[in-house]
Structure 1
Amino acid sequence: MAGAVGAVNGVNVLFAPFAVALYEVSASAPFLLESAVLAGLLAYACLSPTLSNVGSRVTTEEINQESSI
């Protein structure tokens, strides 16, 4: 988790000047861009088969069934 937080801080240093330039064009533009990015991430999280199975319990019957195949 700490690595992800550190990575976000590093990315922020790279993209902050872009956001400031975008803000100079239109005050609401950075917020609209961020809304679009978050909507895309939400769609990815909801549609990703890997993420939709996180936290699901695997029963011993499923493990035995997979190992017999």
Structure 2
Amino acid sequence: MADGDIPAAPPEQRIEQAAEAVRTMTQELADELRPRPGWMDRVSEITRKAPLQSLAVAFLIGVFLARR
């Protein structure tokens, strides 16, 4: 037994625990550094999800602006 009555974990388990801790820290850091989505990001996302509807809306906006 190691210090105190706490058994030492096998090296593989310690490596896996350390790797998991690093994964968690990097994910948290990436979440903090990721820019907040703005209106352009939302428009881009909607365009990717529904390209035909977005094209129709863009056409109608173009027609509206052309008639002004």
TM over 0.5: no
* Structure 1 length-normalised TM: 0.35
- If you compute each CA radius of gyration, which structure gives the higher value, 1 or 2? 2
Q: Normalized against structure 2, the TM-score is what?
A: 0.35
